[in-house]
A and B are shown apart, each in its own frame.
Chain A
Amino acid sequence: QVQLQQSGAELAKPGSSVKISCKASGYTFTSYYISWIKQTTGQGLEYIGYINTGSGGTNYNEKFKGKATLTVDKSSSTAFMQLSSLTPDDSAVYYCARWPIYYYPYFDYWGQGVMVTVSS
């Protein structure tokens, strides 16, 4: 069955970086983009961007350029998101989700989410 298994919760200090992972299984990894979505109580769901799992090409929401860096390791069917220069506003749950390449960007499977807490 399709699974997107994300890494565990992170506690980070302001100014540091975290790198979270999303390991896919149960389908052909390179047939789907992996997107990342931020969820907070105040701002709701925000789209961060996506990575083409085949080519490694990326597209970012303007708001998250410079904040998020998306990468992929095809050999392990794993996508990564690094968040840099962390501030308390980056505290949120971060989800990975997939959508079929060359199709409309709605998400049929999501990871379980990673809670990132930024605090000194």
Chain B
Amino acid sequence: DIQMTQSPASLSASLGETVTIECRASEDIYNGLAWYQQKPGKSPQLLIYNANSLHTGVPSRFSGSGSGTQYSLKINSLQSEDVASYFCQQYYNYLTFGSGTKLEIK
């Protein structure tokens, strides 16, 4: 099974800052990666698919990048509504999720 190592586990940042969350796969996943946002008490929402494609309706301050085994989610100009947990998911070889990053406002 492909293991997804997500970092950091938690993150505190100020409004307007840029934050980056990373996922490392145990082997090459050839851009088969999605990112989700989960607000407290809600279900996950798709942000990014195919490593760098923005899902319909997602604000452009969210972006995804990476290749091979290393991928990242960047949030520009952090807003209060971005307080959430973020998960990566690989789908190149079956399907596994990262352990999540909890983002808070400083």
Contact = CB atoms under 8 A, between A and B. Distances in A.
Interface string A103-120: 011111011110000000
Chain B facing A: main interface SS: loop
Interface of A: 44-47, 61, 95, 97, 104-108, 110-113
B46 A107 contact: yes
Given A44-B87, A44-B100, A45-B87, A105 B95 contact: yes
A104 B89 CA distance: 12
Nearest to B95: A47
A44 B97 contact: yes
A107 B34 CA distance: 9
Nearest to B87: A45
Contacts of A106: 34, 46, 49, 89, 91
A39 B75 CA distance: 24
Contacts of A95: 43-44
